[in-house]
Amino acid sequence: MVSRLYGDLAPWWPLFAPAGYYEGEARSIMGLLDKVCPLRPRRILELGSGGGSMAAHFNGFAALTLLDCEEAMLAVSRQSNPAARHVRGDMRSVRLDDVFDAVIIHDAINHINRAEDLLATLTTARVHLAQDGVAIVLPDDTAETFRAGISTGGQDGAEGRSLRYLLWTGPAHGTAYRIDFAIMCRDTDGSTQAIHEAFDFGLFSRATWQSAFLNAGFTDVRSQADACRSDVFIARAGAA
């Protein structure tokens, strides 16, 4: 069953993550790529690209291939990333018969909540990297840093629609934690609908992340903090 958040609510996605929402983090990722790649990457694959809000900041930096499992989200992304190649597929299993200088997995990695799926996703990243290519993976939390809490957001759209949400996280259980979205959408005619969505987001220890990267064939795995999270994982593909 397709989540409403990524299905019929997909056209509302620009109000979840409007233009500029990921600008600071995108600049941080581009800075990392410039630092760790021998040459600026010419071709980047984003796995689980969603509505393309992050990818929009990479236009002009590199040629983009954007992969997501939901066609509704790809349709939103095409509006803000018309020059990118868009592909529908599951990041745990897709094989594109192509290689890239860098692979990025941003928010979508949160939906991976089993160790075998984490290994499968990182293996997908590895097989799509050229020799010495770099993967950057940005989970919201690791087991060492997770704290339950509440956050809110949303925007008023220029076209007259508005959206507000409350995001409630916790508790943790095994390799996952519960996340509840309470969403209110107000349409141009003034009508309002309230939606509840719930997910189990992945929660792995740093040691589990390290092991999964190595088992997927990566070398030189490390993590560092950025302005948004405590662990940004950077891994090099090494020799094929």
The residue written with tokens 């409007």 in the block is 18
Residue 18 backbone phi and psi in degrees, to 5 = -70, 175
- Looking at residue 240, its pLDDT comes to 55
Q: Mean pLDDT over all residues of the chain?
A: 94
Residue 35's identity, in one-letter code, is K
Statement: residue 146 has pLDDT above 80: yes
The predicted model scores a pTM of 0.95
Q: What is the pLDDT of residues 47-65, one digit of tens each?
A: 999 999 999 999 899 999 9
- Looking at residue 158, its pLDDT comes to 82
- Looking at residue 162, its pLDDT comes to 97
Mind giving me the DSSP string for the chain?
---GGGTTTGGGHHHHS-TTTTHHHHHHHHHHHHHHSSS--SEEEEES-TTSTTGGGGTTTSEEEEEES-HHHHHHHHHH-TTSEEEE--TTT---S--EEEEEE-GGGGG--SHHHHHHHHHHHHHTEEEEEEEEE--S--TTT---EEEEEEEE-TTS-EEEEEEEEEEEETTEEEEEEEEEEE-TTS-EEEEEEEEEEE---HHHHHHHHHHTT-EEEEEE--SS-S-EEEEE----
The residue written with tokens 């992945």 in the block is 202
Structure tokens at 184: 């209110």
Statement: residue 75 has pLDDT above 90: yes
Domains along the sequence of the chain with CATH: 4-141+204-236 (3.40.50.150), 149-202 (2.20.130.10)
- What CA dihedral angle connects 90, 94, 99 and 100, to 10 degrees? 10
Distance CA 141, CA 223 (A): 12
Q: What is the pLDDT of residues 106-128, one digit of tens each?
A: 999 999 999 999 999 999 999 99
What's the mean pLDDT in 137-159? 94
- Looking at residue 239, its pLDDT comes to 63
pLDDT above 70 coverage of the chain, percent: 99
